[in-house]
């Protein structure tokens, strides 16, 4: 979908050669560290709550009822919304102009990113109905979608289709994107070994610490994707 409403164009605050600590991590901590941490804790707590409710419904003596669909839908929506907000917070902190505040940044980008993510989800689901592998390829094609929406002046001027730009970028740099995506998945898989200590109801302290670790990993991989975009995108 081409953006024809001409929102404020947000250009990168620093070049692709900026260091991880001074050009990326430090701005995130200073500009969005607290809201990003709070958002991570809230979403992980809610995710656990929704999953627990779904499991309770599945083992209920009364059988699965409407609550199963309610909490299942909430869990699915949360899994879609949580990374969108987290990514926007990171891009705001790391790349938005210093004079732009968080509300203005979200106003300019949130609705468009949600629309494009929904378009991407529809394409992924339609391809997944054919075979699993085509669905996975569609997922990989749209990995760079947030960077197109938030950092491409061409998109923000309504000159390009975000899904097409993300897809072309993937096929030019598929090896790096696959490697980063697999790396993210492997670390997430490895983290499941400590799932026993992730329960906020049973182990609140360790659950909070593990949420912090999840956030650090997410920030790190977002930086690698951002570096890839800034080095090779045609804007």
How distant is the alpha carbon of residue 186 from its chain centre?
17
Say if CB 177 and CB 141 are below 8 A apart.
Answer: no
pLDDT at 58 over 70: yes
Is pLDDT of 108 > 80?
Answer: yes
Task: Tell whether the model's pLDDT for residue 153 goes beyond 90.
Answer: yes
Mean pLDDT taken over the chain: 88
DSSP for 97-157? -TT--HHHHHHHHHHHHHHHHHHHHHHHHHHHTT-HHHHHHHHHHTTTHHHHHHH-HHHHT
Closest CA to 95 of 178, 200, 25, 165: 25
Tell me: pLDDT of 17 over 90. no
Give me the mean pLDDT over the 20-25 stretch: 89
> Which helix (H) or strand (E) covers residue 27, if one does?
helix 26-58
What's the pLDDT score for residue 147? 96
Over the stretch 186-235, which tens digit does the pLDDT of each residue have?
998 898 888 888 899 899 999 999 999 999 999 999 999 999 999 998 76
**pTM for the whole structure:** 0.87
Q: What local confidence, expressed as pLDDT, does residue 196 receive? A: 83
Question: Residue 203 corresponds to which tokens in the numbers above?
Answer: 């182990």
* pLDDT of the residue at 3: 66
């Amino acid at each position: 979908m081409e953006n024809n409403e001409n929102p404020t164009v947000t250009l990168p605050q620093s070049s692709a050669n900026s260091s991880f600590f001074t050009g990326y991590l430090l701005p995130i901590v200073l500009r969005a560290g607290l809201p990003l941490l709070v958002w991570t804790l809230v979403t992980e707590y809610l995710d656990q709550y929704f999953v627990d409710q779904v499991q309770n419904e599945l083992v209920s003596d009364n059988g699965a009822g409407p609550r199963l669909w309610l909490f299942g839908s909430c869990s699915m929506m949360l899994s879609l919304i949580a990374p969108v907000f987290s990514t926007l917070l990171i891009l705001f902190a790391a790349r938005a102009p210093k004079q732009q505040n968080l509300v203005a940044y979200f106003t300019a980008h949130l609705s468009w990113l949600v629309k494009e993510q929904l378009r991407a989800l529809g394409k992924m689901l339609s391809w997944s109905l054919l075979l699993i592998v085509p669905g996975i390829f569609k997922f990989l094609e749209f990995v760079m979608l947030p960077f197109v929406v938030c950092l491409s002046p061409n998109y923000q001027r309504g000159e390009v289709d975000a899904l097409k730009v993300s897809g072309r970028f993937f096929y030019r740099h598929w090896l790096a994107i696959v490697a980063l995506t697999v790396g993210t998945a492997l670390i997430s898989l490895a983290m499941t070994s400590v799932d026993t200590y992730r329960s906020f109801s049973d182990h609140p302290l360790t659950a909070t610490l593990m949420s912090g670790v999840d956030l650090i990993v997410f920030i790190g991989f977002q930086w690698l994707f951002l570096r890839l975009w800034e080095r090779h995108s045609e804007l």
